[in-house]
Structure 1
Amino acid sequence: MSTPDLFKYNPNYPSVADLKKKAKSRIPKFAFDYLEGGCNEEVNLGKNETDFQAIELMPQYLKKYNGVDISTELFGHRYDAPFGIPPIGLQGLMWPNAPEILAKAAVKHNIPYILSTVSTSSIEHIAEVTDSKFWYQLYHPAKTTMRDDILQRLRDVNCDVLVVLVDVPSFGIRYREVKAGLSMPPKMNINNIFQACIRPTWSLKTLQHGIPEFATLKKYMEKGLDMSQLGEFMNASFDKRVEMDKIAAIRDQWKGKIILKGIVSEPDMEKAIALGADGVIVSNHGGRQIDAGESSIKSLIRIAGKYGDKMPVMMDGGVRSGPDIARAMACGAKFVFMGRPFMYGAAALGNQGGNHTIAMFKAQFRQAMEQLCCENVGALPATLIKK
């Protein structure tokens, strides 16, 4: 059986909705819009959450029950819970020092933390604060020299799990960001400066930790690069479309685990298997890339139903509670990731935000498991009410 939670959560914020409300009061509007927004009319963003509500689970109250174990084994490691913190770009914009806050909490609670290429902490710093217990998400570089150097940096710090992002062949058009004048990094126009001034804690923390920047990528940028040229640097430095030959080249030299993130179709899943991927994360990028697509949970149901016996099928998008984690696991997910809730937690509660949010989800998921009379996560699929 898994050990009791190491941290108790703050009873003033027992739900994601409570954390979101508090976070919104502490983050400047332009930064909150960057966190919160989806693409176009945000239809798919909404479906990510609402489609979970149609999934129903059936308890069996009278069967013999010996208690609950919410731990899960994945890639030879037993994690304390079947959920983790996904890659999130520009974390330090939404809350200063957020990558370190969340990475440290993940290690303490023995769950995965995935560092994004475009996060605001470097590979080496996150390796130091986690004792190399982290995963890394790769935006595919256009130049093989940069790709190979990033992979070598990961090997040097003993990072073993590489997550290759495949679902950004073009950048989604996000109306909130357009209206806010956001760029990479955000331009501090008059409106944005005013919004920062009325969020003094965020502003002071930003001064303390420094203006957010793409820390992992600094070594590849020309000295004296003007911040207005950063978008041009990103467009020139990364391949938006990641095809099979590029993944195959990584597979040839990367001896650790490779996960493909953004898989939503059967043809792509067949290619992932052919490439020798060790797992996939079904994801629609938090509703930020294609508004005409389906929700992540609907994609998961199809993909896990057909390929769940071939490799671990994980998912992110729309998970907002312990019962949602149970729903996803019942639908075939091996593991679940949720991004916005952890950023709400960091922004709402600062240094304790990561610990709080993980403990909250653990408590909610444990209660759902107990109510469903499931002794382990492997029993969850049997509770799914099929329609």
Structure 2
Amino acid sequence: MTVITNVEDLRVLAQRRVPRMFYDYADSGSWTEGTYRANNADFQKIKLRQRVAVNMENRSTRSTMVGQEVAMPVAIAPTGLTGMQHADGEILAARAARKFGIPFTLSTMSICSIEDVAQHAGEGFWFQLYVMRDRAFIERLIDRAKAAKCSALVLTLDLQIIGQRHKDLKNGLTAPPKMTLANILDIACKPRWALGMLGTKRKQFGNIVGHVSGVENMGSLGEWTARQFDPSLNWGDVEWIKKRWGGKLILKGIQDVEDAKLCVASGADALIVSNHGGRQLDGAQSSIEALPA
């Protein structure tokens, strides 16, 4: 493919180049994937109203998001394992966002660390936080985001219990990934990806490995992560995190009007209407369907 014209071209390229377990991680939802598919289908139903004979000179998509000027009102959402889609993926995405003039959001579950990405990100460098049972680790993570000069903290509220993602189970996507014969053969057929990964030192979860006692490699990470997502997360924790952070706070994963009101009451600066890309509660509304209310 010599000319890239749209996002679908990029998806096709990724499917060719990226090992199946990592491609499927990005292109999948939970359980039946009904909500995952609805996110796209319901968005496509929305049509633009076309007006004519209006002066189009000096038109601009520029706007502001949480007080920062942006080239257009769009931000790159946090995606775990981006550094396994492509070597140093989070760094490359942050560079692209900086060049275009929009915010980039780094996931807690990124391969490149906050400190790695901070060297390449622009002013719109947001950090997405998952709340773990180890509150001391969360405090250190917030402090690291402050030191990296992140301009906003994006607190994800809809991952207290991880959704069942069947493609990940079938592909053996664990930490570390299961090196089955099928996975080994698949990686062998993706030489561009494999050479990129051989050429980078960033192959582990940079925000976690080496920053938690007892988690020094991918093997120990899997056991730690399995017991760390906190089902007791509540609005009191949101207040605690806001106080600890002290900067702009964005709450992500809001699908219900009552929760939106609680976001306002908690002192959040913004909220993100989201169902985690259809990767959590299957059968929930699409994000765009939930947005108007």
- Give the structure-1-normalised TM-score: 0.72
Larger helix fraction of residues? 1
- Say whether 1:63 aligns with 2:35: no
> Where in structure 2 are the equivalents of 1:1-387 lying within 5 Å?
12-130=3-121, 133-210=124-201, 212-222=203-213, 225=216, 227-302=218-293
CA distance in 1, matches of 2:185, 2:78: 29
Q: CA deviation at 1:127?
A: 1.0
- Say if 1:184 and 1:231, in contact at 8 Å, map to a contact too: yes
- Superimposed CA distance per residue, residues 307-327 of structure 1 (whole angstroms, 9 cap, x where no aligned partner): xxxxxxxxxxxxxxxxxxxxx
- Give the structure-2-normalised TM-score: 0.94
CA distance in 2, matches of 1:258, 1:224: 28
**Structure with more relative contact order (C-alpha pairs < 8 Å, separation 6 or more):** 1
CA distance in 1, matches of 2:215, 2:72: 45
- Say if 2:30 and 2:281, in contact at 8 Å, map to a contact too: yes
CA distance in 1, matches of 2:13, 2:100: 23
- Tell me the equivalent position of 1:323: none
Q: CA deviation at 1:155?
A: 1.7
CA distance in 1, matches of 2:103, 2:215: 36
Q: Which runs of 5+ in 1 are unaligned?
A: 1-9, 303-387
- Superimposed CA distance per residue, residues 198-229 of structure 1 (whole angstroms, 9 cap, x where no aligned partner): 11111111111146211011233345756333
- Superimposed CA distance per residue, residues 331-354 of structure 1 (whole angstroms, 9 cap, x where no aligned partner): xxxxxxxxxxxxxxxxxxxxxxxx
- Say if 2:88 and 2:202, in contact at 8 Å, map to a contact too: no
CA distance in 1, matches of 2:222, 2:215: 15
CA distance in 1, matches of 2:48, 2:121: 36
- Say if 1:168 and 1:241, in contact at 8 Å, map to a contact too: no
Runs of 4+ aligned structure 1 residues displaced above 4 Å come to 223-226
Q: CA deviation at 1:171?
A: 0.9
CA distance in 2, matches of 1:255, 1:291: 34
CA distance in 2, matches of 1:270, 1:75: 18
CA distance in 2, matches of 1:140, 1:26: 33
CA distance in 2, matches of 1:224, 1:265: 36
Pair 224,79 (structure 1): closer, same or farther in 2 beyond 3 Å? closer
CA distance in 2, matches of 1:192, 1:39: 21
Q: CA deviation at 1:160?
A: 2.4
- Say if 1:38 and 1:45, in contact at 8 Å, map to a contact too: yes
- Say if 2:209 and 2:221, in contact at 8 Å, map to a contact too: no
Q: CA deviation at 1:248?
A: 0.7
CA distance in 1, matches of 2:210, 2:96: 28
CA distance in 2, matches of 1:11, 1:277: 44
Equivalent position amino acid for 2:242 in 1:
R
Equivalent position amino acid for 2:168 in 1:
E
> What SS does structure 2 have at the residue aligned with 1:291?
coil
Question: How many matched pairs?
Answer: 293
Q: CA deviation at 1:24?
A: 0.9
> What SS does structure 1 have at the residue aligned with 2:17?
coil
CA distance in 2, matches of 1:41, 1:154: 36
Mean alpha-carbon deviation: is it higher for 137-146 or for 125-134? 125-134
CA distance in 2, matches of 1:152, 1:224: 19
> What SS does structure 1 have at the residue aligned with 2:227?
helix
CA distance in 2, matches of 1:271, 1:100: 34
CA distance in 1, matches of 2:178, 2:229: 22
CA distance in 2, matches of 1:11, 1:174: 34
